[in-house]
Structure formats: C-alpha cells, structure tokens
Amino acid sequence: MSTGMNVIVDTGCANLASVKFAVERLGYQVTITDDVALIQSADKVILPGVGTAKHAMANIKAKNLVNVLQNLTQPVLGFCLGMQLMTESSTEGNCTRNIVPCLNLIPTKIEPLKAQENRLPHMGWNTLTQVSSHPIFNGISVGDYFYFVHSFAAPISDYTIASCEYGSTFSAAIAKDNFIGCQFHPERSSALGSKIIQNFLELDATELNQEQTKL
C-alpha cells in the first residue's frame, strides 16, 4: 500500500466529502486542500467536480490554481467534471458563445452528449464498451458497470482509454502522460469504482511515462 501523501483539490464543488470517504474506505489517508504547496508536494492528486465547468474554472482561477495544476508532474486523476476540466474547453450549451476555456491538460474538447432519443442527463449505471490496458484499468473489463451523471462528454480521440455508449459512443476515460480522467464517478461506482481509485493510489508513476495506452 502506498504511504505517500494524497490530496483532493478543493475546487469548491459539493462532492468533496464523498470522494474523501471513498479514499479513506480503502485505508488511505487523504487531505482536501487548495494549498499550493500541499498540492505540489503530493504523491497523488485527485481533481473532483460536480456542476458546471464555468463555475469550477472560476473557483480554480480565484484560488490561483490554474498554473499549479497545469505544471503537476505526479499522477492526477479527474472524476466527472474534474475530467472535463482537464480538456481544452467545454461547451456548456449548444451555443458556441458558451465555450469555457479549461486547463488544457489533455488535447480534446467537451461537447454536448449526442444522446439521440435518450433523455439527458445520462444518469445511472452503464457499461464500458472498450477498455485499454492502461494501469488505471487493472482488473476492469469490457461490460463492467460504472455510475454516470452528465450531459456533456469528450468525443472518442487518441486520448480515449475507455468508451461508453449512450445514444452515441463517447470517452468514458481519457489520459495523457500523468493526467487521467474518468467521466463516471468512481466514488459512486461500488466495488469496481473502488478498484479504479485503488489502482490510482497504488500506481507507480513510472508506469505512466512509458507510453500512452490507447484503445
């Protein structure tokens, strides 16, 4: 078990306590913080989030964390909105005037989910339709269920490491170098979600520096 310091970035969003509990339930210590020094010195960083990209990015800017997050070299895992904040930008509606610049850590963009006749938000349990050999998915297989709540999504790209289908196929997880994002909520996804969190906390950072594992 990793004994390093783990932090959850305090983005001012509402689900911080549930993420903290999910980590502690696995036997790990974790600190919720917006302290620059603590975030920079952490072994693992979790970027959670619920709500809108506009609100979350405003909080991150107000806390002077944009450059801090962009320059992290340790493993960073984004949950749901936290994943979306890792991309270049998010379209918060169907109007291009509503594009919110994000952290630009993974070169893809968040768009309205093309749900076709399905209702939005995409809320509830859904299966992964493709899963790469990325170490975050050790012990996870195609067909495994995870819990989703979202109306926006990242398209399939070179940075997709898992996919899901809801009216159309979208990225269930994306990654680039030390940055990993899950569109689903690991902290709400029962035993398999806990497995994702445990994989991340036990991750050897050198595993992420060898090569990008794509679908």
Active site residue ranges:
80, 185, 187
Residue in 55, 60, 45, 7 with CA at minimum distance from that of residue 180: 45
Give dist(CA 69, CA 188) in Å, integer.
Answer: 25
Residues found in the chain: 215
Residue 153: name the closest of 197, 193, 184, 112 by CA.
112
Beta bridge partners of 110: 90
Beta pairing, strands 31-33 & 179-182: unpaired
